[in-house]
Amino acid sequence: MLTLGIETSCDETSAAVVEGERRILSNIVASQFDLHARYGGVVPELACRRHVEVISQTVESALDEAGVALDDVGLISVVKGPGLIGALLVGVSFAKALARSRGVPIIGVNHVEAHVYSAVMSSDTIEFPAIGLVVSGGHTMLFLMEDFGVYRWLGGTVDDAVGEAGDKVATLLGLPYLGGPLVEKLAGGGNARAIDFPRAMMRRRSYDFSYAGLKTAVLYHVKGYAGSPRDPSLIDDAERADIAAGYQVAAFEPLVRKTMWAAEEFAAQSAVVCGGVSRNETLRAMFADAGADCGVPVYFPAKELCTDNAAMVAGLGAWRAVRFPDESSGDFDAFPNFGAFDALEDYRDPRARRRGGRRRKE
């Protein structure tokens, strides 16, 4: 069966055709990079308008590149959330209209789960239980996967996401939008030990993360303090590279250590690291080393599947439709907040459990 995937949760309009649950026939990503670059971040209203303008063409390109017609598609899978509500509504409305007009079943899937599925699509040797880590511009979260599709929440960021922190640090270093990959490049020429930035929330019992303090530490390093301000334009290239390298290890160490602690605590057979930041080679190398030391194989998505794309959405939709046929009834709405990760349960955080927790159902 062919599945048409549609993704519009943030600033990429993407459409893809996947055969079965894994074979990618096309994966078109229309980036809005040019639109948001001069604002230094995604402007939601502009993102929605651009999605409206290009979604039709993006879907046509995905079908053309796959060499298939709309009539060949047996399922439409669209991201229903989390994400920017206006942006999500464009994809969901378009997908529903297409599905109704063609009489094709439609399923709404979770963007975060699609990131996890991108690793499953890229490898058939992942063993469960596994520890999952999603590191992207919008999310930093750790969970136990008893199997794919069965999750237990372990922890997440209490403030910024790690990808977002990297983008902010890039701005402080005078790098253009979108900064995460540029920080990585700059760090390549630096010494990660030259500047000792703080690693946050390293208590063994916590699986939460924090990036606001690290971001502020970089800010003070670059701009100085009230009593002794510094002109950032006078920082030489060697120091900029050291800042970038020092930032990266301080940002990544908690991710690696907590994933390995969780793997030990829950006797996980593997770890799965996904989302935009999982493209980063330093992060991959740190995980490979720690995984080898702890005897935990670490899996990543193929590089082109790390950042937002519709192939992971199509693949996940196909996977879920087979196992949970009720989900492809088309009865779903777009939702902006994290929370419809249906099988996810609060596990560690007693405060969240008492409140009824993050387990909010749709």
Interface residues with ligand KG4 (CB under 6 A) are 10, 136-138, 163-164, 166-167, 178-181, 184, 275-277, 279-280, 307-308
Which entry of Zn ion, ligand KG4, none binds 346, CB below 5 to 8 A by partner kind?
Answer: none
* Least spacing, CB of residue 104 vs ligand KG4, in Å: 27
Which entry of ligand KG4, Zn ion, none binds 301, CB below 5 to 8 A by partner kind?
Answer: none
Q: Which residues contact 214 (CB under 8 A, 6 or more apart)?
A: 165, 197, 198, 199, 200, 247, 250, 251
Nearest in space to 86 (alpha carbons), one of 52, 60, 56: 52
Torsion of CA 129, 134, 135, 140, to 10 degrees: -100
Interface residue with Zn ion, options 3, 27, 110, 136 (CB under 5 A): 136
Q: Which is nearer to ligand KG4, 178 or 192 (CB)?
A: 178
Residue 308 touches Zn ion, criterion: CB under 5 A: yes
Cα within 13 Å of Cα(70), Cβ side: 14
By CB neighbour count within 10 A (0-12 exposed, 13-18 middle, 19+ buried), where does 233 fall?
exposed
Helix ranges, the chain (H): 33-36, 44-66, 85-102, 111-122, 162-172, 180-187, 212-223, 237-265, 281-294, 311-323, 350-354
For residue 57, give both structure tokens.
């063409």
Q: Which is nearer to ligand KG4, 164 or 208 (CB)?
A: 164
Which entry of Zn ion, ligand KG4, none binds 277, CB below 5 to 8 A by partner kind?
Answer: ligand KG4
Q: Which is nearer to ligand KG4, 105 or 163 (CB)?
A: 163
Q: Which is nearer to Zn ion, 99 or 112 (CB)?
A: 112
* Least spacing, CB of residue 87 vs ligand KG4, in Å: 12
Which entry of ligand KG4, Zn ion, none binds 180, CB below 5 to 8 A by partner kind?
Answer: ligand KG4
Q: Which is nearer to Zn ion, 16 or 243 (CB)?
A: 16
CB-based contact 186:237 (threshold 8 Å): no
By CB neighbour count within 10 A (0-12 exposed, 13-18 middle, 19+ buried), where does 202 fall?
exposed
* Least spacing, CB of residue 308 vs ligand KG4, in Å: 4
* Least spacing, CB of residue 239 vs ligand KG4, in Å: 20
String of DSSP letters for 99-137: HHHHT--EEEEEHHHHHHHHHHHH-S---SSEEEEEESS
Q: Which is nearer to Zn ion, 184 or 308 (CB)?
A: 308
Region of 47-55, 169-177, 305-313, 344-352 interacting with Zn ion (CB under 5 A)? 305-313
* Least spacing, CB of residue 307 vs Zn ion, in Å: 7
Contacts with Zn ion by CB under 5 A lie at 136, 308
